[in-house]
Structure 1
Amino acid sequence: MLLSITTWWEHLASFEKILWGIAIIFSTIYLVQSTLSLSGGDVDHADGDADAAIDHDDGMDYQFFTIKNMIAFFTMFGWAGLAAHYGGLGNMATVLVAFVAGTAIVVMTVLVLNYMSRLRHSGTMQLTNAINLTGTTYLFIPAKRGGTGKVHIKVQGSLRELPAMTDDEEEIATGKLIRVKKIINDSILLVTLAENNFSYKI
């Protein structure tokens, strides 16, 4: 079998050897990288170092020029080039097709990761979005930051039960309407008794 592979390789033209070399080498690297990622041993730190060296503020959450994207580019470049070459295209046309295919897979990867990141970000509650919103007291809130109570408040479209404190001189009883003034320690709402007793709608 080894002899037949050697014979096959020797009969390839130089251009074909380049395409096969790129396809096989980078496909192997891609498979190893994917295996490490699935096993939890992904070498992200190496990728991160490379990203930092060429990091540009282009407005994208995920950088275009990374080691992972380079591997994906050349993997697609190799196989698309082989497909184009054996499909009857000339060398220049083959290189062009391979380049476009490699670039396309990188762009798609960046766009998908960027979209997934935005979905995760939009689903993560930002407490600062609760400032100036109104809610109702679920568990009474001791006066003058004497303890922590609970409030029900609608933040980012969802009803939440969140810890709250107050600077008010009197405790805020359960069921009272409150307004959020600011955030304490990035985790606790600082609230005050709402001045108006209008009905609060969820």
Structure 2
Amino acid sequence: MEWFKDFGALEWTYFVIACVGTVLLIVQVILMLIGAGDGGPDFDTDTDGDGAFDSHTDTGLSLFSVKGLTAFFAIGGWTGLVMLTSLVSPAISIPVSVVAGLAAYIIVWFAIRMMLRLQEDGTANYGSAVGKTATVYVSVPPAREGRGKVTLVLQGRYTEADAVTDDKERIPVDTQVTVVQSLGDVFVVARKEEKDGQ
């Protein structure tokens, strides 16, 4: 306990900042391990309710996050305290501790960003629908004069998407079509050929 005996105001400040930052960082790590720390205070949800089961969730990761701030205070606090107790002058230890804290902040931000990229991407790959059978949900106007809608199972989930056709006649509701091309999130469809009549 002699270590604390020689603490001045600056050392105590660094010690308190480092302890608070470390405790908060440990709590966040425990919450992440048990699954309670996945979301953040800025939580955005968008769900499509037209019978489709696809939804999008955005955790709102920004450069300013609680995890980054706790890393900044924990690493910066301990760096400053160790430097001051090693008799490094405050003129050097303060800037070095701030730089160490900023480095920890950026590393945590980058690590979280990389982990979020590793999570399953909920967006559908519309290009994988080419060649699949779909059902017309809203009639598709002829010769790309407008858009209709089709439904199909894409990547294991029920999906509804806009559709156009090059056919010369309107494709009515409940008609089976084949996706012949994907133009972003719009499908080019054609009537499915009847095999039994040919």
Q: TM-score interval w.r.t. the shorter chain?
A: 0.5 to 0.7
Deviation of the 1:118 alpha carbon: 4.3
Deviations 1:87-114 (A, max 9, x none): 4421111011100010011112222333
1:20 aligns with 2:15: yes
What is the aligned counterpart of 1:48 among 38, 42, 60?
Answer: 42
CA distance in 2, matches of 1:79, 1:144: 63
What is the aligned counterpart of 1:168 among 162, 166, 171?
Answer: 171
Deviation of the 1:64 alpha carbon: 2.5
| SS of structure 1 residue aligned to 2:88 | coil
Q: Aligned residue for 2:189?
A: 191
Q: Aligned residue for 1:65?
A: 64
1:84 aligns with 2:83: yes
| SS of structure 2 residue aligned to 1:48 | coil
CA distance in 1, matches of 2:191, 2:93: 71
CA distance in 1, matches of 2:113, 2:14: 31
What is the TM-score with the length of structure 2 in the denominator?
Answer: 0.55
Q: Which has more strand, going by share of residues?
A: 2
Q: Which amino acid aligns with 1:25?
A: V
Structure 1 residues 77, 177: closer, same or farther in 2, change over 3 A? Answer: closer
CA distance in 2, matches of 1:182, 1:15: 58
CA distance in 1, matches of 2:93, 2:12: 14
The equivalences for 1:137-152 within 5 A come to: 137=132
Q: Aligned residue for 1:178?
A: 180
2:71 touches 2:108 (CA, 8 Å); kept in 1? Answer: no
Task: Name structure 2 gaps, 5 residues minimum.
Answer: 44-59, 140-149, 193-198
CA distance in 1, matches of 2:62, 2:189: 41
1:85 touches 1:94 (CA, 8 Å); kept in 2? Answer: yes
Calculate percent identity across the aligned residue pairs.
18
Higher relative contact order (Cα pairs below 8 Å, separated by 6+ residues)? 2
Deviation of the 1:120 alpha carbon: 4.6
CA distance in 2, matches of 1:144, 1:78: 61
Deviations 1:118-169 (A, max 9, x none): 4558x44435x54xx98324x5868986xx88689xxxxxx99987898536
CA distance in 2, matches of 1:48, 1:163: 28
Q: Which amino acid aligns with 2:79?
A: A
Task: Name structure 1 gaps, 5 residues minimum.
Answer: 50-60, 153-158, 195-202
CA distance in 2, matches of 1:161, 1:30: 38
What is the TM-score with the length of structure 1 in the denominator?
Answer: 0.54
1:35 aligns with 2:30: yes
CA distance in 2, matches of 1:143, 1:23: 59
Structure 1 residues 31, 112: closer, same or farther in 2, change over 3 A? Answer: closer
Cα root mean square deviation, aligned: 4.5
